[in-house]
């Protein structure tokens, strides 16, 4: 039972890191030359989970800027805001499910200690 709490805590930490990556992408949606990151939750060797973060190097749109009378072509961010915002929903659900699992296991352990004490 204790190892299942560890697995749930591992998943909560993974979902937190995944949300951090998504939030960073959203914060930089208007930053030129920014490349978004992708966080994948992967089963770890010890039955927990880990997060694998990779940078997505697809090009953004080309934008022509006028600075002091000179035109310059820059690349916009490659972040798709709709993709990032819809990514939040499964992160939130996964986080809440694992949190409820930890709370239920905590309650069961508390009851077990009350019975044996």
- 43-80, pLDDT tens digit by residue? 877 778 889 999 999 998 888 888 778 888 888 999 99
Rounded Cα–Cα distance for residues 105 and 101 (Å): 6
Mean pLDDT computed over every residue of the chain: 88
3-class SS shares of the chain: helix, strand, coil, % to 5:
55, 20, 25
Show the tokens assigned to 14.
């993974």
Rounded Cα–Cα distance for residues 99 and 110 (Å): 16
- Please compute the mean of the pLDDT values over residues 96-101 and round it to a whole number: 92
Q: Which residues pair with 60 in a beta bridge?
A: none
What pLDDT does residue 3 have?
A: 65
Show the tokens assigned to 32.
């030129």
């Amino acid at each position: 039972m204790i190892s299942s709490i560890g697995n749930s805590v591992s998943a909560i930490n993974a979902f937190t890191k995944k949300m951090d990556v998504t939030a960073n992408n959203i914060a930089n949606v208007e930053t030129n030359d920014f490349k978004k990151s992708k966080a994948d939750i992967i089963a770890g060797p010890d039955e927990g989970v880990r997060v694998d973060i990779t940078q997505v190097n697809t090009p953004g749109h080309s934008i022509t800027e006028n600075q002091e009378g000179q035109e310059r072509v820059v690349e916009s961010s490659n972040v798709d805001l709709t993709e990032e915002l819809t990514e939040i929903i499964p992160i939130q659900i996964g986080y809440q499910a694992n949190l409820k699992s930890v709370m239920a296991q905590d309650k069961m352990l508390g009851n077990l200690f009350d019975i044996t004490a």
